[in-house]
Amino acid sequence: AEVAPGAVHVPGWLDLAAQRRLLAACRTWARPPAGLRSVRMPSGGQMSVRTVCLGWHWYPYGYARTVVDGDGAPVKPFPAWLGRMAVEAVTDAYGTEPEPAAYDIALVNFYDGHAKMGMHQDADEKSAAPVVSLSLGDSCVFRFGTPGGRGRPWTDVELRSGDLFVFGGPSRLAFHGVPRTRPGTAPAALGLTGRLNLTLRVSGL
Ligand code: MD3
Ligand code: FE
């Protein structure tokens, strides 16, 4: 379903077996060094989401090759199979191949039952390539706004385990956030308490 120009939601893109493989990989990436951490904003606040990065390390507001705001360790490599998955995702969502830009960043966000993410833009990448989002575990309310500001109008979309969302074109700089998750809604067979979201991106660096 096209939620806005360039914003395409593909429910159930990953079957249970694929979700389990991706979750197992996320669990190895989450371990230190350069593992899961919660980001401290320059304003002093702490994000309730915990994040691990592959390829490039995101910090407010930029990308580095080491965990500059954490343990200082080199960021884990971005695996080639994730890059192939990103190209397949864009191709399936849009029905056309993406421009030849190499996906080289993954941000893996973990939400416990209380975590949420305020409305923001993803503007630290130097590429206009679409962002690929994959959800695992608990469902959430995903709020999709406009490029004009963090306020209304917005559309609330339920994201479930296995869902794909691709954000490109005019939607690439839209404000978006996660006002709440729905604890206890993860597929029992997945074995995850909470929610994971992976975003695959092109750094342009
Ligand atoms: C729209 N993550 O990591 S995924 C983020 O569920 C982020 O963890 C949320 O926002 C999450 O920055 C939302 C959906 C998403 C991801 C990236 C986007 C929507 C986007 C980039 C541009 C526009
Ligand atoms: Fe974002």
Return all residues near 88 (Cβ < 8 A) that are at least 6 apart.
Answer: none
pLDDT tens digits, 111-126: 999 999 999 999 999 9
pTM above threshold 0.80:
yes
pLDDT tens digits, 46-104: 999 999 999 999 999 999 999 999 999 999 999 999 999 999 999 999 999 877 779 99
Q: Is 164 in the pocket of ligand 1 (CB under 6 A)?
A: no
pLDDT tens digits, 158-168: 999 999 999 99
Q: Is 157 in the pocket of ligand 1 (CB under 6 A)?
A: no
Q: What is the CATH number of the domain that holds 183?
A: 2.60.120.590
Burial grade of 148 (CB within 10 A; 0-12, 13-18, 19 or more):
exposed
What per-residue confidence (pLDDT) applies to 190? 98
Structural domains counted in the chain: 1
What per-residue confidence (pLDDT) applies to 149? 96
- 43 — pLDDT class (breaks 50, 70, 90): very high
What per-residue confidence (pLDDT) applies to 97? 83
Which residue's alpha carbon is at the smallest distance from atom 11 of ligand 1? 197
What per-residue confidence (pLDDT) applies to 165? 98
Cα of 122 from ligand 1 centre, angstroms: 7
What per-residue confidence (pLDDT) applies to 151? 97
Contact 150, 120 (CB under 8 A): yes
Token pair recorded at residue 18 = 């694929």
Which stretch of DSSP H or E encloses residue 87? Answer: helix 80-94
Q: Which atom of ligand 1 is nearest to the CA of 49?
A: 8
What per-residue confidence (pLDDT) applies to 98? 78
Cα of 112 from ligand 2 centre, angstroms: 17
Quote the distance between the C-alpha of residue 16 and its chain's center.
19
What per-residue confidence (pLDDT) applies to 75? 98
**CA 50, CA 33: separation in Å to the nearest integer?**
15
What per-residue confidence (pLDDT) applies to 100? 77
What average pLDDT does the structure give for the chain?
A: 97
Residue with tokens 């695959």: 200
Q: Is 51 in the pocket of ligand 1 (CB under 6 A)?
A: no
Q: Which atom of ligand 1 is nearest to the CA of 171?
A: 23
The parent domain of residue 21 ranges over: 2-201
**CA 201, CA 203: separation in Å to the nearest integer?**
6
**CA 187, CA 15: separation in Å to the nearest integer?**
11
Least confident window among 90-99, 153-162, 166-175, 186-195: 90-99
Residue with tokens 């249970």: 16
